[in-house]
Structure 1
């Protein structure tokens, strides 16, 4: 089923209205007669929701087009595990109290650069001329992710229990204590990376046809994949460094976008995924604050819903080909 252009625009308008209504509800609900303070506190979170939704939606849709697989997300490259390792080493060496009190910009930028450059290094090494190099890259990403997780566990076992407790608070995705300076830097990086990816939407449409077809149409696939992977890692790394790992978010919004917007054009898929990501994050944070009264975190809600959706999609896809 292919939507006509008016139907695509109507869908995006409906999603945008739903996002604004949900945002208004989150900002104005249960303010305890102090609307200005609530708007100031929650407004910063709304900006973070928008940035994370933008980065995750753009990166995941691009990554799934590059890998030709709707079950994979950029986190398979081990970016989440690398973030955990960086934070663990920083807390182990510098101490949790010092790290949390300083919140230096250099540490924030270092986390982003390490996550982006590690993926670029793997890509430059492996994405050469053989057709299966991309899948070797993905397998190596999983292996390095396991290595990073094991190394993090090794350091965590040797940490002081109080330091370990502080570290765990950093390793769960949270929108509660976002550094305003980091938010400004993240906004610049995410907006720039997203604009570049959106400018490449026609090349992604060609890559969606497959590597052989894209090559026949004049696209330098290997060079484009390396370029694409750097910006995917940059967006994913920035979102992770800003709020922490949010597993399954990209998987959920990308796959629902394919269902709601049956189009191969990334100029249609990108805004759909971004709006869905924003709706999901605002809705999840509303549940965390107003329903669960901060007794859980947004990452727990995301993993629970995403895990159910992932299992359901596997069962559905398996039943289709029986």
Structure 2
């Protein structure tokens, strides 16, 4: 089976799971239950698509299949923002704050941080992309340490509010946020469409891309901005899911066996939707909400990450 047919199969499986999720055990008041499920599915599709999209692009830029955009420290920055608001103003402020305001502030600060980081690091010519990742990792550790420090000091009852923000949740999605996030992702996707043609060449490496006529720094800078915006939106919408991108993108590479990014991006989005919708079905029908989807995804993704490290170590 070719990669085109495999992409079609993934799309069909994703569609079947979405239909199952929407209509399984749907009884009682459809006017109440169905819109809530539709909203949840839309949030899953948007989040899964954005993370898979961003991770595929990020791994192409870095030429490394064990890295994810979370290494830039955006997840840690999101938690620092939420913890800081509760630490300074109390949980009542976060609860009473308009969700749109919280979303815009969180996304805005994450994008601002990414923009400043890129501006400073790409100011110098011939700057290695791995230096950017190292700085991102350092800042991520710093943000995580500051968050932990404030979490130790706050009231235990308020810590529970912070703890809820640590794990992605699709159970209480604000429709207004969904609209804002969808419009933002659409705009970013339109902007990205003019850069798609460079991805297959960038996968060959920096030197080869430059030899083939690609303005490497210009293209990579803009692709990193796209990655930062997508990850910021998905994180602010539902919360951090650290290993989802790593898991779905590597499964996509193994399943499709192609390096054409138009198929890799579509395939990773479909696999991400399959993983999230299928995982949410298991959380609701098997575990009866006794755990969260992000815990399952991060556990499986963490195990897979260790497998990838061991496999790379053997190949060396």
Partner of 2:108: 113
Cα deviation 1:221-247 (Å, max 9, x = unaligned): 112211111110000000000000001
Distance in 1 separating the partners of 2:235 and 2:167: 10
Partner of 1:273: 268
Deviates more, 1:192-201 or 1:291-300: 192-201
Partner of 2:153: 158
Cα deviation 1:93-142 (Å, max 9, x = unaligned): 23213312333422211111211121221111112455452111101111
* Structure 1 residue 214: Cα displacement: 1.0
Partner of 2:219: 224
Distance in 2 separating the partners of 1:102 and 1:121: 27
Distance in 1 separating the partners of 2:303 and 2:147: 27
Deviates more, 1:308-317 or 1:137-146: 308-317
* Structure 1 residue 182: Cα displacement: 0.8
* Structure 1 residue 315: Cα displacement: 2.4
Q: After TM superposition, list the pairs within 5 Å mapping 1:1-322 onto structure 2.
A: 7-128=2-123, 131=126, 133-321=128-316
TM-score of the superposed pair, with normalisation by structure 2 = 0.95
Deviates more, 1:112-121 or 1:55-64: 112-121
Determine if contact 1:253/1:273 at 8 Å carries over to the other structure.
yes
Residue segments in structure 2 that go unaligned for 5+ positions in a row: none
Determine if contact 1:56/1:235 at 8 Å carries over to the other structure.
yes
Cα deviation 1:178-203 (Å, max 9, x = unaligned): 11111110001112212332432211
Distance in 1 separating the partners of 2:111 and 2:223: 11
**1:71 aligned counterpart, secondary structure:** coil
**1:294 aligned counterpart, secondary structure:** coil
* Structure 1 residue 30: Cα displacement: 2.2
Distance in 2 separating the partners of 1:197 and 1:133: 23
Determine if contact 1:8/1:261 at 8 Å carries over to the other structure.
yes
Paired residues, number: 316
Determine if contact 2:7/2:256 at 8 Å carries over to the other structure.
no
Cα deviation 1:274-310 (Å, max 9, x = unaligned): 0000000001111111111111111101111111111
Distance in 2 separating the partners of 1:228 and 1:56: 14
Residue segments in structure 1 that go unaligned for 5+ positions in a row: none
Determine if contact 2:85/2:93 at 8 Å carries over to the other structure.
no
Determine if contact 1:129/1:222 at 8 Å carries over to the other structure.
no
